[in-house]
């Protein structure tokens, strides 16, 4: 195999030119296979960030990440609710809580996530605090989805090649394209997606990557307040991908039938505190936290084909909580994940 031409690639990016999908894929493959030096990785991601990534570049990089990933197959179509993080708002784990609500409404959820990077509690941290075994073997994680309608796919287990970029990411200390690739690389091949981003400039690029990757039904959204969620403090902006067509719309809390809240009302704490909030919401506690969870469950419910629009999806989300279905999903996931983690006999 010919040696990858880093010099030409970096010169193109430094001159604010873009590279094509194939070259972006090749560059990312060099990184994933451990051949790129730290200097090359750093120069590559900084140059991309400085000139602005393109959807074509990101698609090529996602393809390389998935080439290197540990992937699984699930017998039913699955949906993922995931965010890029990075909003630094300190909210509780909204999308993780919403994932249980969506599952309680009938969606099959394959949630891809990690421990905290920029927040006090990532999805893996809060799930662990809830009693879920988060680092199951891939075969067991698939079985968890089949048994409960919800499974967690712990990013380091499925994307081990990302370790080659870990030191550079840590030492650079800036947000780079890597922060936006992970949510687009679900190891269960989710073809229905609800993705929040903290960077409005990336939203359209991310929905175009989902389209290039063949996602059937997807949403990418952000709050005007900077949240990588659908917010209840003001407007949210949503890109929708359906049958290959991308549309864009603005929604307010009133469009979802909920009251506006302050950002302070959505703030959480560490993993234990956020787990307590999740339990309270799933137990039926009313107020701003419930409202924002219902709102964020709706795109997953719609993408899963359970409702045609956000308003009927809100009704399904509310019923998921009020009937006890969402809390029952959590209880079963805790029980089954522990059983599946016990030993070789777990899958019999």
pLDDT-wise least confident of 251-265, 269-283, 334-348: 334-348
Q: Are residues 111 and 57 in the same domain?
A: no
Q: Which of 162, 102, 47 is nearest to 301 (CA)?
A: 102
- Structural contact between residues 13 and 54, judged by C-beta atoms closer than 8 angstroms: no
pLDDT-wise least confident of 89-93, 96-100, 147-151: 89-93
CA–CA gap between residue 120 and residue 4 (Å, rounded): 39
CATH number of 135's domain: 3.40.1030.10
Percent of the chain with pLDDT over 70: 97
- Structural contact between residues 162 and 69, judged by C-beta atoms closer than 8 angstroms: no
Among the candidates 38, 68, 98, a domain finishes at 68
Is position 341 within any domain?
no
Q: Are residues 149 and 61 in the same domain?
A: no
Flag whether pLDDT at 87 surpasses 90.
no
Q: Which of 125, 153, 155 is nearest to 141 (CA)?
A: 153
Under the banding of pLDDT at 50, 70 and 90, the label for residue 118 is: low
Q: Are residues 300 and 166 in the same domain?
A: yes
Mean pLDDT rounded to a whole number for the chain: 95
| Whole-Å CA distances, 7 to 1, 11, 43, 176, 177 | 17, 6, 10, 20, 20
Q: What are the φ/ψ torsions at residue 238 (nearest 5 degrees)?
A: -130, 125
Is position 53 within any domain?
yes
Average pLDDT on 12-31 reads 98
State pLDDT tens for residues 233-243.
999 999 999 99
State pLDDT tens for residues 324-339.
999 999 999 999 999 9
Q: Are residues 55 and 104 in the same domain?
A: no
Number of domains in the chain: 2
Instruction: Give CA 334 to chain center in angstroms.
Output: 21
Q: Are residues 54 and 102 in the same domain?
A: no
* Burial state string for 323-348 with b = 16 or more CB within 10 A and e = fewer than 16: eebbbbbbebbbebbebbbeeeebee
CATH number of 35's domain: 1.20.970.10
Is position 49 within any domain?
yes
**Number of neighbouring beta carbons within 10 Å of residue 5:** 12
Burial of 34 (0-12, 13-18, 19+ CB in 10 A): exposed
- Structural contact between residues 195 and 184, judged by C-beta atoms closer than 8 angstroms: yes
The Cβ-side half-sphere exposure at 159, using a 13 Å CA radius, reads 29
Q: Are residues 60 and 87 in the same domain?
A: no
State pLDDT tens for residues 204-224.
999 999 999 999 999 999 999
Q: Are residues 292 and 322 in the same domain?
A: yes
pTM: 0.95
**Which pLDDT value is given to residue 342?**
86
Write 237-241 long-range contacts (CB < 8 A, 24+). 237/200, 237/203, 238/299, 239/203, 239/204, 239/206, 239/207, 240/207, 241/207, 241/210, 241/211, 241/215, 241/217
Q: Are residues 157 and 35 in the same domain?
A: no
**Which pLDDT value is given to residue 135?**
96
Flag whether pLDDT at 4 surpasses 50.
yes
Average pLDDT on 130-143 reads 98
Flag whether pLDDT at 120 surpasses 90.
no
Average pLDDT on 245-258 reads 98
Residues shown for the chain:
348
Q: Are residues 290 and 203 in the same domain?
A: yes
**Which pLDDT value is given to residue 180?**
95
Is position 340 within any domain?
no
Q: Are residues 134 and 283 in the same domain?
A: yes
Q: What are the φ/ψ torsions at residue 176 (nearest 5 degrees)?
A: -135, -175
Flag whether pLDDT at 29 surpasses 50.
yes
**Sheet of strand 192-196: strand arrangement:** 150-154, 109-113, 79-83, 192-196, 217-223, 236-242, 245-251
**Which pLDDT value is given to residue 58?**
98
Under the banding of pLDDT at 50, 70 and 90, the label for residue 348 is: very low
CA–CA gap between residue 150 and residue 38 (Å, rounded): 37
Q: Are residues 203 and 305 in the same domain?
A: yes
**Which pLDDT value is given to residue 344?**
47
For the CA atoms of 89, 91, 97, 99, the dihedral, rounded to the nearest 10 degrees, stands at -10
Domain boundaries, position 48? 6-68
Q: Are residues 232 and 173 in the same domain?
A: yes
Flag whether pLDDT at 292 surpasses 60.
yes
Average pLDDT on 32-60 reads 98
Better-predicted residue by pLDDT, 344 or 80: 80
Average pLDDT on 172-191 reads 93
């Amino acid at each position: 195999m010919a040696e990858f031409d880093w010099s030409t690639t970096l010169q193109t990016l430094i001159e604010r030119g873009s590279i094509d999908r194939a070259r972006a894929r090749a560059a990312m493959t060099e990184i994933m296979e451990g051949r790129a030096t730290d200097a090359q990785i750093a120069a590559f991601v900084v140059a991309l960030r400085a000139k602005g990534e393109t959807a074509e570049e990101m698609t090529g990089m996602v393809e390389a990440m998935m080439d290197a990933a540990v992937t699984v197959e699930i017998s039913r179509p699955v949906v993922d609710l995931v965010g890029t993080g990075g909003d630094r708002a300190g909210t509780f784990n909204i999308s993780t809580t919403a994932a249980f609500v969506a599952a309680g409404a009938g969606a099959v959820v394959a949630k891809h996530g990690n421990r905290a990077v920029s927040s006090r509690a990532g999805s893996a941290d809060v799930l662990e605090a809830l009693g879920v075994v988060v680092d199951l073997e891939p075969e067991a994680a698939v079985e968890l989805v089949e048994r409960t309608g919800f499974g967690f796919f712990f990013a380091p287990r499925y994307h081990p090649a990302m370790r080659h970029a870990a030191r550079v990411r840590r030492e650079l200390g800036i947000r780079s394209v890597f922060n936006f690739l992970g949510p687009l690389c679900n190891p269960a091949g989710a073809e229905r997606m609800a993705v929040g981003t903290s960077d409005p400039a990336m939203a359209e690029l991310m929905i175009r990557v989902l389209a290039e990757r063949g996602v059937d039904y997807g949403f990418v959204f952000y709050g005007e307040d900077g949240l990588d969620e659908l917010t209840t403090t003001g407007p949210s902006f949503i890109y929708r991908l359906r049958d290959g067509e991308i549309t864009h719309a603005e929604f307010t809390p009133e469009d979802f039938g909920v009251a506006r809240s302050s950002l302070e009302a959505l703030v959480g704490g560490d993993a234990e505190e956020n787990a307590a909030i999740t339990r309270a919401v799933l137990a039926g506690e009313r107020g701003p936290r419930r409202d924002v969870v219902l709102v964020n469950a709706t795109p997953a419910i719609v993408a899963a084909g359970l409702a045609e629009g956000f308003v009927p999806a809100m009704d399904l989300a509310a019923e998921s909580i009020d009937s006890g279905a969402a809390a029952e999903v959590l209880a079963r996931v805790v029980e089954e994940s522990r059983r599946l983690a016990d030993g070789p006999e777990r899958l019999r």
